[in-house]
Every structure is written in C-alpha cells, then in structure tokens.
Chains A and B, each alone.
Chain A
Amino acid sequence: MKRPSLRAVALTLIPFAAMCFSVPLWDRIYPRVFGIPFNLFWLVSWIFLTSLCNWAAYRVEVPPGSAESDHHPKGGAQ
C-alpha cells in the first residue's frame, strides 16, 4: 500500500480549512460580490479552488511523465 505523501495531504486539507472550520469568518452577507451574499460567493469560489488543490495533489502523487501517469485525455470510455 502506497502511503500518501504529506504534501498531497496538506494540499487537500486546504479546502477543509476554507470551507468548513472557518465558517464563522465568512458566514455573512456583506460585502456582496456581483450582488451575491458573501458566504455563498465564498463557497462558490472554493468549488474552483478545491479542484485546483486536488489537481496540485495529483501532480504531487503522479508527477508528469512518471510511469504511473497513464494519461488518456479522452478518458478512454470502456
């Protein structure tokens, strides 16, 4: 069993800090962004940022060009 690398774990902990534990800091209506209450805007931003964190973790676990990087851009359906 491959142990997950600490850097990858740290990267995936960022979304927990931002979307979960810090809720008292961002659960508010103002400042509104594009007319949207701040709490909703914050979470929507972290949808994209979480994807980015997971991607960075992926690059840590599977470095580009490594033997394990069996990359099929089209997903290779069945």
Chain B
Amino acid sequence: MSNSVVALTVIFAIIIFGSIMAFYAGARHKMNLEQWTVGGRGFGLLLVWLLMAGEVYTTFAFLGASGWAYSRGGPTLYIIAYLTIGKAVYFHVQPQIWEVGRKFKMQTQPDFFEKRYGSKYLAAFVAVVGFAFLIPYLQLQLTGLGIIVEVASFEGIGRPLAMAIAFTLVAGFVFASGVRGVAWVSILKDVLMLSVVFVIGISLPYIYFGGIGPMFTAVIHAKPAHLMMPGSTKDMGHAWYISTVLMASLGGLMWPNLFATSFTAKSGNVLRRNAVIMPLYNITLPLIFFVGFTAFLAIPGLKNGDLALLTLARKTYPAWFLGVIGGTGALTAMVPAAIFILAAATLFAKNFFRPVFAPRMTDDQVAKLAKMMVLVVTGIALYFALYSSTTLVALLLIGFAGVSQFFPGVVLGLYWRRVTMPGVFAGMVVGVATVAFLMLTKRDPFVGINAGFFALCLNFVVTAVVSSVTRFQPSGFEERSEASAVR
C-alpha cells in the first residue's frame, strides 16, 4: 500500500470511530430542542470540561498555532496568555450567566439579551451578528480539515475535493449527535490530542536538534528576533499583544456556543471549578509551538505556515503515524465545527426566524428548521473556505473581534443597573461596524493595536454614554425575579 493510502485509511478510521461514538451517545436521549441545544441542563464538571475543551481547543490551536510559531514567532505567545487569562474572567462571568439562564430557561445567547433588555429585535440583531462571526470560525475548521486531507494524501486529493469531503463529514456528524454526542466524542479527541501533542512536541525537536534546549539554541543562532515580539512581523509588538490578549480573553467568553455550553451545566459551581482546571489544558500549547519552531529551521520557505506541522510530520514519521496525527487533527476540527454549526443553526431558527417572521412556530418546528439550517450553515462556510485564502489565525481573530462586541451588553447587563437597550444597541452597531470597516479595509492592527480591541473600547463608550442619556429601564432580570418572589 502506498503511504497516502495508509495515512488516509487511518484518518478515516478515526473519524468513523468518532462518528459512531457520537451517534451512540446522542441516540440514547430523545432530541427535543432543549436536549439538542443545552443537553437537558444536567452536565457535571466532567462533561462541561470535555465540551469546553472540545470547542476551545480547535484545529486553530493545532495547525494555526504551530503555523504562527513557524511564520511569525514571538506574537504567537498571545495564544497562551488569552486562553489562560480568559478563564479568570470566565470564573466570574459565566456562573452569573448560568444563573439567569436557569431562572429564565435560556437556550441561546440572544435569549439573554431578550430577557435583560426586553427587545426581540435586539435579540434578533445579536443572533445575526453571532451567526455572521461564527462563519469564519467554522470556515477555519473546514480549511483545517481540507489541509489535513490534502497533506495526508500527498497532494493526491486537492483542496476543493478535500473540503467537500470535510463538509459531508461535519454535517453528518452534527445530524448524528446533538450536543451530548459531541461532548462524548470530545473524550476521544482530547485523549488523542494530548498524546499526539506530547509525542510530536518532544520528539520533533529531539530528532532534528537533539532536544528542546538545543532546538532553541539553533533558532537563537539563526534569528533571535523571531522568538520575541514582534517576531517576524512588523506591527505585532507589545501594544498589539496587550490589546489582542484583552480583546480575546474578554471577547472569547462571548461566543454564542460558549453561552450554550454554560447552560448545559447543572450548577454555577460546576463552571467555577471548570475555570480552575481549564487553564491546565494549555500545557499543550508550548509543545505545539516547539513543533512550529522546529519547522522554522527544518523546513523553511513554506508559503503557508498552517502547513508546517503536517508537512514536517510527513517528512519525519511513518505513514501510519501521519494518519494518527491527521485523524486527531480532523477530530479537533470536527468537534468544534459541530458545536458551532449547532449554535449558528439554533440562533437563526430560534432567535431570528421565529420572532421576526413566524411567531407561531412551535419548539418542535424550530428544532426541525434548526436541523435544516445545519446544511445551509455548513454550505456557507464551505463557500468561504473554498474562495478565500486567509490564514487560520487571521480567521480566528476576525471572529473574536466580532463576538467580543457582545461583551459590554452582557457584562454591563449583569453588573450595571443603568444600562439600557438603546445604549447596548448603539454600542454594538458602532462596534460591529468598526470591526467590519477596519477588517475589510485591511487596517488590522490599527495604529499598532488590535482592531477588535479598538472597536470594543468604542463600543463601551457608546453603550455607557447612550445609556446615561436614555430613560432608565428596569432590568428584565430583576423584574421577573421579584414577580416570582411575590408568587
């Protein structure tokens, strides 16, 4: 058998095994809207941890992080920082979101805005924005899957066909599983990911340089500036680092899918404990960086850094192990992709289509529409994945910049009584417009700071100013809880 056949066989074996697992785990529960989206709100620490590790540590951490270590160097460190610091914010914010979520039976992020600010149009706007910025994150996963199939087939299968295969796999996976199935496949994904990362992160520097220390000595000898900021870029210095870490650690909590994940927990303390153990998962990141830095010297001159990890692995290991790495990479793309698709489809059906166009739809009809939307959402992401050539990290930063614009509305909504619906609406419009303008006109980083962070600051200011000049509006959260106390 040729190398490509061996590698592809192993990859597909892993994918099929994962899909069977998802189907089995999902099929044991009746799939109404509540089960499909928030798993019946009964997950303990183990499942919440798995689900969150499943959606946060994506193919971006695997291929994108090594790709940036390869092509940009020092600025890549921001990934360790934001993923770690984010959990310190998560510790405070997410349990509060969970609490109001349980009290008002929320399933999605726009539900939060609708209850707090009493406007279904604000909620529909949040749904549309969330939907729009989930697409690049999803596109990232499909691109990653495409890269894996392409490299593992020794370029025998081209990118478009590889992505079409990826599309079919992911859509089928979501249909089969629902959120509970996805959580269980995360186990397989995490075990594989941790093992693979430890093996390649330690063995690749050892094979090429005789160890991690000697590998860094060689990089320092060749190009010391690569290891500090701005590394091999011109504009990613310390101001960029601070603004990007702030934007991503605050904004990263605002992914619509992460809201839904918080609602799956059975108590707020499950989420607090999750914040304690979650940072430890980041220990995989330096190992992935080691791979990127090794590739920096061992296989210089790749046009696309995202190919670095797999190209180096293909050059170094036997085909079956390339298959294991590829299969692991495929699951780290498919598990989060499934969660994003689920989230985007639900946002569209529940918080945009029903309230705006068809208020009489039943929950079951919404669930059906959401399932149909799975194909549409995946199709849109596939279209963008085929026709754009943005790097994985750049895609991630676009998504983060977008969803971080929810941060003022959520956090002020929780902690500041004076914030009003028009304030949040205006802030978000300004924030999203700024992100879109700066990104589309290629002005990120903007005067040395992250464009999303700049937009987030404007958003905060506008929200606060408009809120203080508009009429006081009681919080939907307080109103209802008083009513229920009377009852």
Chain A: residues with CB nearer than 8 A to chain B? 1-2, 4, 8-9, 12-13, 15-16, 19-21, 23-24, 27-29, 32, 34-37, 39-40, 43-44, 46-48, 50-51, 53-55, 57-58, 61-62, 68-70, 72, 74-78
Query: In the complex where A4-B92, A34-B213, A77-B47 touch, is A28 in contact with B289 (Cβ < 8 A)?
Result: no
| CB 8 Å contact bits of B262-288 with A (1 = contact, 0 = none) | 000011011011011101101100100
Main secondary structure of the interface of B (DSSP, over half): helix
**Contact segment of B135-143, B220-228, B349-357, B383-391:** B220-228
- CA of A23 to CA of B75 in the docked complex: distance in angstroms? 11
- CA of A62 to CA of B224 in the docked complex: distance in angstroms? 46
- CA of A16 to CA of B82 in the docked complex: distance in angstroms? 9
The yes or no answer to B208 lying at the interface (CB within 8 A) is no
- CA of A72 to CA of B227 in the docked complex: distance in angstroms? 43
A-B CB contact pairs (8 Å), 13 listed: A8-B91, A13-B88, A27-B241, A37-B228, A39-B74, A40-B77, A40-B286, A43-B80, A47-B282, A58-B91, A61-B272, A62-B269, A78-B43
| CB 8 Å contact bits of B222-263 with A (1 = contact, 0 = none) | 001001110000000010011001100100000000000000
Chain B: residues with CB nearer than 8 A to chain A? 42-47, 49, 74, 77, 80-81, 84-85, 87-89, 91-92, 96, 99-100, 180, 211-214, 216-217, 220, 224, 227-229, 238, 241-242, 245-246, 249, 266-267, 269-270, 272-273, 275-277, 279-280, 282-283, 286, 289, 414, 477
Q: Is the CB of B88 within 8 A of A1?
A: no
Instruction: Choose among A16, A28, A34 the residue that contacts B228 (Cβ–Cβ < 8 A).
Output: A28
Query: From residue A10, how far is it (CB to closest CB) to chain B in Å?
Result: 11
Query: From residue B411, how far is it (CB to closest CB) to chain A in Å?
Result: 12
- CA of A33 to CA of B43 in the docked complex: distance in angstroms? 40
B81 surroundings in chain A (CB, below 8 A):
19-20, 43
Residue of B nearest to A37 (CB): B227
B80 surroundings in chain A (CB, below 8 A):
19, 43-44, 47
Q: Is the CB of B85 within 8 A of A16?
A: yes
B282 surroundings in chain A (CB, below 8 A):
47
Q: Is the CB of A44 within 8 A of B286?
A: yes
Query: In the complex where A15-B88, A20-B245, A78-B42 touch, is A47 in contact with B279 (Cβ < 8 A)?
Result: yes
Q: Is the CB of B49 within 8 A of A54?
A: no
Query: From residue B381, how far is it (CB to closest CB) to chain A in Å?
Result: 30
Query: From residue B198, how far is it (CB to closest CB) to chain A in Å?
Result: 14
A44 surroundings in chain B (CB, below 8 A):
80, 283, 286
Query: In the complex where A27-B229, A69-B269 touch, is A12 in contact with B88 (Cβ < 8 A)?
Result: yes
Q: Is the CB of B213 within 8 A of A15?
A: no
Q: Is the CB of B224 within 8 A of A54?
A: no
Given known contacts A15-B85, A20-B242, A37-B216, what 10 new A-B pairs fall within 8 Å (CB)?
A1-B477, A8-B92, A16-B85, A19-B84, A32-B216, A37-B220, A44-B283, A50-B88, A77-B43, A78-B43
